[in-house]
């Protein structure tokens, strides 16, 4: 049985841990101490194990926070992606990108292909990989980003909004080309992309070949300048034209 002194000592340690914001230490110091005694561990080894547990807990929370802040539409990992259904997509290249070197080098990634070919899944998976490396990430559709900036312009907050977007280590712009943009929207999108050129990483998904981007960006000169910045040093990955998502649906309806 615990003596009154042990109870008071443990309560005091927990209070100190609370004040110092060491929740893992506060929750585990007793059980680890008992284990250390049984295994005849040194005081230093016990302390190392306790602090390691605190670090692991902080890393876990940091990653959870990064994933939450990224505002991913859904959690889809690269491990879940079925590369056998998408033979045109280079699996080794995607796994190499997941290591994060492109973020350090501020290189863009462009996934180009028809609907259902895995563009958004791959972009989401790379964003998750970056979050696990504790990078600051944000995932958003091109239309939603433009709408945010148009609203900011109406409220006189464009400068503040633009400054916020520059703080991310990685931005994923999904569905570029799905919705034609008015001149002001195209200009805002150009500014966000231009501000990141050679400074920070960008992932972009589109269903349009580059030759058709003028259907979305009506100003030819702006469109050319945008493509110039996006494609410079970019990893361009063609996901193809065959919707394996549609094929998966058909396979699920076939009688067994």
Q: For the segment 61-78, what is each residue's pLDDT rounded down to a tens digit?
A: 999 999 999 999 999 999
> What's the token pair of residue 9?
């000592």
pLDDT at 203 over 80: yes
Residue 249 has a pLDDT of 60
User: What is the DSSP-derived secondary structure letter of residue 216?
Assistant: T
Burial 46-82 (b: 16+ CB within 10 A, else e): beeebeebbeebeeeeeeeebbeebebeeebebeebe
Computed on alpha carbons and rounded to an integer, the radius of gyration of the chain in Å comes to 25
| Look-up of token digits 């493509």 | 227
Class of domain 83-253: alpha beta
Element (H, E) at 201: strand 201-206
pLDDT at 251 over 60: no
pLDDT bracket for residue 108 (50, 70, 90): very high
Mean pLDDT of all residues belonging to the chain: 89
Residue 93 has a pLDDT of 96
pLDDT at 130 over 60: yes
Q: Where are the domains of the chain?
A: 4-61, 83-253
Full-model pTM: 0.83
Whole-angstrom distance, CA of residue 175 vs CA of residue 112: 10
pLDDT in tens, 206-244: 999 998 888 888 888 888 988 998 998 999 999 987 776
pLDDT in tens, 41-55: 998 998 898 899 889
């Amino acid at each position: 049985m615990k003596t009154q002194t042990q109870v008071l000592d443990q309560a005091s340690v927990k209070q100190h841990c609370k004040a110092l914001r060491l929740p893992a230490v506060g929750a585990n110091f007793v059980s680890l101490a008992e284990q250390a005694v049984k295994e005849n561990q040194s005081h230093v080894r016990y302390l190392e194990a306790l602090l390691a547990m605190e670090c692991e807990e902080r890393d876990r929370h940091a990653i959870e926070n990064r994933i939450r802040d990224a505002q991913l539409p859904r959690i889809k990992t690269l491990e879940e992606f079925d590369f056998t259904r998408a033979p045109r997509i280079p699996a080794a290249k995607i796994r190499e990108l997941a290591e994060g070197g492109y973020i350090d080098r501020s290189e863009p990634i462009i996934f180009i292909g028809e609907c259902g070919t895995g563009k958004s899944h791959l972009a989401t998976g790379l964003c998750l990989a970056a979050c696990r490396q504790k990078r600051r990430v944000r995932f958003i559709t091109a239309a939603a980003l433009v709408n945010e900036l148009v609203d900011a312009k109406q409220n006189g907050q464009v400068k503040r909004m633009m400054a916020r977007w520059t703080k991310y280590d990685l931005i994923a712009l999904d569905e570029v080309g799905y919705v034609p943009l008015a001149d002001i929207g195209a200009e805002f999108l150009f500014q966000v992309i231009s501000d990141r050129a050679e400074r920070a990483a960008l992932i972009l998904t589109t269903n349009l070949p580059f030759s058709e981007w003028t259907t979305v960006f009506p100003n030819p000169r702006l469109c050319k300048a945008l493509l110039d910045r996006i494609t410079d040093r970019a990893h361009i990955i063609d996901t193809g034209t065959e919707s394996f998502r549609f094929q998966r649906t058909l396979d699920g309806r076939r009688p067994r």
